[in-house]
Amino acid sequence: MEYALKVLNRYGPAAGKSSRRKRFVDEVSCAYCGGGGADPKYSSASGCPVCRGAGDVRVTPPVVSCRQCAGSGRVGGDLICLTCRGVGVVPVPVEADTCSRCGGTGEEGVFYCNACKGQGIV
């Protein structure tokens, strides 16, 4: 069951970024392989390194989509996103709020914000 709450940015979505909503789910479809369970980088015979061939990944609710990879589980083509570890979502505390250091963008100059680890929420 999935419940969406709009609480991440009390001032509206961060400038130039789509809004993210908390989802209270126990399991999500693997973003890296698209839920197919096969490694998209090699062959369909090899299992996905993120979900180990299951297609779904257990998560700790609530979760929001990963800002670093935009929920795709990949960065730089076929590399596994280090922020969400290829799942496409990251767990957040129930009381999570917009990062005051970066204003919710997750960026700080040319690098990601260290205070929120590039997620825009703390």
Residue 64 domain flag: yes
Does the bond joining 13 to the residue before it have cis omega, within 30 degrees of 0? no
Q: Would residue 116 count as lying in a domain? A: no
Residue 117 domain-assigned?
A: no
Cis previous bond, 62, omega within 30 = yes
The answer to whether residue 52 sits within a structural domain is yes
Question: Which residue intervals of 1-122 are DSSP H helices?
Answer: none
Can you give the pLDDT of all 122 residues of the chain as single tens digits?
Answer: 333 333 333 333 444 444 567 788 999 999 999 999 988 877 667 889 999 999 999 999 888 888 888 899 999 888 999 999 999 998 888 888 778 888 777 788 778 888 888 777 87
What DSSP character marks residue 36?
S
pTM: 0.66
Residue 112 placed within a domain: no
Hey, what amino acid is at 95? E
Domain extent for 58 = 1-95
Q: Which residues pair with 112 in a beta bridge?
A: 107
CA dist., res. 41 & res. 73, Å (int): 13
